[in-house]
Amino acid sequence: MQNISSKELKANPIRSILLLTQPSAAILALLLVLMHWHIPMSVKLILRTELPQHAEIQAVSSEMQAGRIAPSQIRTLDIQYPMFPNMRSTRFTEVSTCVLEPVKQLGVKVLEHNSATHEVLWQLEGRARRFQIRAKGIRKDLRMTGFDLVINTAQLLYGLLSVWIVFTAFSWFRLYKELRRNT
């Protein structure tokens, strides 16, 4: 590691600022990467659908296990993330597109069936590799990112803050040591 003299630091204040901001820049770069890194996540969907006249629940259920959901039949879609029980569920209506690619088959359960109105309330659970919808003309990617994981997990958030504090303190200490030694 190259020693920095206090004269160099005084002569070049930008270098001293860069020395102090290295941990912050590294953490920001890490967070930017995490914002774009989508991870397969456990999801729980509550769907209220309207079945076509001659459709059987068993046939529709097997289609849903594979992740094929007909958006024209969806009345409401509620999504929850079981890993994060403190996160509120999100409700969507007027879904025009639904792309769901599960890691393996989803667990499908019929919660309620009204044969008079042909409405069925479904519960789907599993891990989604890809999950996108278009509701009211707005496209949404409902997968969690690495950033969401860090923000919603207290241990990871505190760990990231601790690393930032340690590296920033180390940078301040290095700067102080160089200034003290050369004055």
How do residues 33-88 score in pLDDT, each as one tens digit? 888 888 888 899 999 998 887 778 888 888 888 888 888 889 999 999 988 888 88
Statement to judge: residues 53 and 107 lie in one domain: yes
Residues 158 and 68 reside in one and the same domain: no
Evaluate whether residue 1 is within a structural domain.
no
Which residues, in sequence order, are CB contacts of 111 under 8 Å at separation 6+?
46, 121, 122, 123
Do residues 49 and 20 share a domain? no
* 77 domain residue, yes or no: yes
Q: What is d(CA 171, CA 176) in angstroms, rounded to the nearest whole number?
A: 9
pLDDT in tens, 105-131: 899 999 999 888 889 999 999 999 889
Q: Is the pLDDT of residue 100 over 80?
A: yes
Is the residue at 96 inside a domain? yes
Q: Do residues 80 and 128 both lie within one domain?
A: yes
Q: Are residues 18 and 48 in the same domain?
A: no
Statement: residue 146 has pLDDT above 90: no
